[in-house]
Amino acid sequence: MSEEEMRDENLRDDYSLQGAEPRAVTDKARRQGPVARLDGTWTVLGHAEAQAVARNPQVFSSAVSRFLQLPNGLDGLEHWQFRSLIDRYLTPTIVAELNPMFIDIASETLRWGEEDVVTHQADAIELGATFSVRAMTGWLGWPQELEERLVAWVRSNNAASPEDLAQTTAVAEEFDEIIREVVEPRLADESIQDVTARLVHDTSLGRRLEFGEIVSILRNWTGGDLSSMALCIGVVVQGLAENPAVQERIHGGVSDLELEAMIDEFLRMDSPFVSNRRVATCPVTLAGQDIGEGEQVNINWTSANRDERAFSDPDAFEPYHLARNLVWGAGPHECPGRDLSMAELRAFTRALVQTWVVTPTVAGAVRATYPLGGYISVPVELTRR
């Protein structure tokens, strides 16, 4: 066994992400260096290094999958063209118009009976799944009848084990089938007017999008919205339950900017969107580690957001950390859905804190394991104010 293989073997024994709570593994591994091999793959754990990789697409390409991933899997000009197409659906003006709908959906999701319901036990992940499905179907113009099927899909997607290929394939196929059922009527009937129909008839690339391209774009939007949003809500609600002072501050009235900084800070400490892949296009040295051409490199956002070199105490709740927050990525692939997600998260958080005081239950939250971060269940007690 070569020296390098022995080192990998040792690291694998000490640091395997498979089946582990990502924060526990990467917090420990990061203290040995900002770039390490975890489960035999280069993993970028440091804050500066994560940015260096994400901001250098010439060396760290996003073309990592044999499947069509628009725009995630593209580089250069092609990425720019698809990214520009997508950004036009997520502008601040469009998000501002959606705001009142998200506020209504949030208060409807968090309404149990009238004043006579004084306490209520709920699971924040379940609430998050219901809220995000309603918000997304409202945004895209999908029929309400799909709600139950989509909530069930979020549940099976979050529960699917990445090692079980049959299960993950079935979950992916079920989602593509839902997308197909929404796209086909819009292809056939030009009088349907909603965001999905706009995408179906989009000609900003100088041509109509192919069916596979529409499915890929919608899969990215909805996948990002549904699973990540439910997980983000879980992290935020758990953070609120543990921080009564933050709940009171929000209840007393805060600006959108301050609320966003608070939400972002809960997510920074415990980012549920764990990692994204890149592939090295040439030999490169990163933080003293020699990475070969063609080798896979995983940017671990959860770890980068907890790097002690950027945040002296990663577990200290300091909303002014906003400027260094990497929850939404960095560089050309930085999340185009941030504003939309934030509008949803703001609406949910305000509606929750306005009516209820959130406290943890004795049962406690159950953490998710890699490749998911955050929690799979966040049971909380809600007491009417």
Please report, as ranges, the residues that interact with ligand HEM according to CB under 6 A.
Answer: 54, 62, 71-72, 83, 86, 220-221, 224-225, 228-229, 232, 273, 276, 301, 327-329, 333, 335-337, 340-341
Residues in the chain: 385
- Report in angstroms how near the CB of residue 131 gets to ligand HEM at its nearest: 12
Give the amino acid at 75. D
Residue number with CB closer to ligand HEM (15 or 301): 301
Q: Which residue has its beta carbon closest to ligand HEM?
A: 337
Residue number with CB closer to ligand HEM (8 or 265): 265
Residue number with CB closer to ligand HEM (17 or 327): 327
- Report in angstroms how near the CB of residue 109 gets to ligand HEM at its nearest: 16
- Which residue is it, tokens 């800070």? 265
H/E segment holding residue 36: strand 35-38
The burial class, CB within 10 Å (0-12 / 13-18 / 19+), for 163 is exposed
Question: Looking at residue 192, what DSSP letter applies?
Answer: -
- Report in angstroms how near the CB of residue 72 gets to ligand HEM at its nearest: 4
- Report in angstroms how near the CB of residue 164 gets to ligand HEM at its nearest: 24
Residue number with CB closer to ligand HEM (34 or 336): 336
Q: Assess contact for 162 and 168: CB atoms under 8 A.
A: yes
Q: Other C-beta atoms within 10 Å of 323: how many?
A: 6
Residue number with CB closer to ligand HEM (8 or 260): 260
Strand 41-44 relative to strand 296-300, pairing: parallel
d(CA 64, CA 73): 6
- Report in angstroms how near the CB of residue 383 gets to ligand HEM at its nearest: 27
Asked whether the bond before 314 is cis by omega within 30 degrees of 0, the reply is no
Q: Assess contact for 128 and 136: CB atoms under 8 A.
A: no
- Report in angstroms how near the CB of residue 341 gets to ligand HEM at its nearest: 4
Q: Other C-beta atoms within 10 Å of 97: how many?
A: 10
- Report in angstroms how near the CB of residue 190 gets to ligand HEM at its nearest: 24
φ, ψ at 109 (rounded to 5°):
-65, -30
Residue number with CB closer to ligand HEM (135 or 357): 135
Residue number with CB closer to ligand HEM (11 or 305): 305
Residue number with CB closer to ligand HEM (223 or 360): 223
Q: Assess contact for 237 and 376: CB atoms under 8 A.
A: no
In DSSP terms, which residues pair with 300 in a beta bridge? 275
- Report in angstroms how near the CB of residue 1 gets to ligand HEM at its nearest: 34
Question: Looking at residue 331, what DSSP letter applies?
Answer: G
Residue number with CB closer to ligand HEM (299 or 357): 299
- Report in angstroms how near the CB of residue 286 gets to ligand HEM at its nearest: 16
Q: Angle at CA 141, nearest 5°, toward 202 and 237?
A: 115
Quickly list H helices, the chain. 3-14, 22-30, 47-54, 76-87, 92-109, 124-140, 147-159, 165-188, 195-200, 211-223, 229-242, 244-251, 256-269, 301-304, 338-355
Helix (H, G, I), strand (E, B) or coil at 145: helix
d(CA 13, CA 126): 35
Residue number with CB closer to ligand HEM (321 or 357): 321
- Report in angstroms how near the CB of residue 116 gets to ligand HEM at its nearest: 34
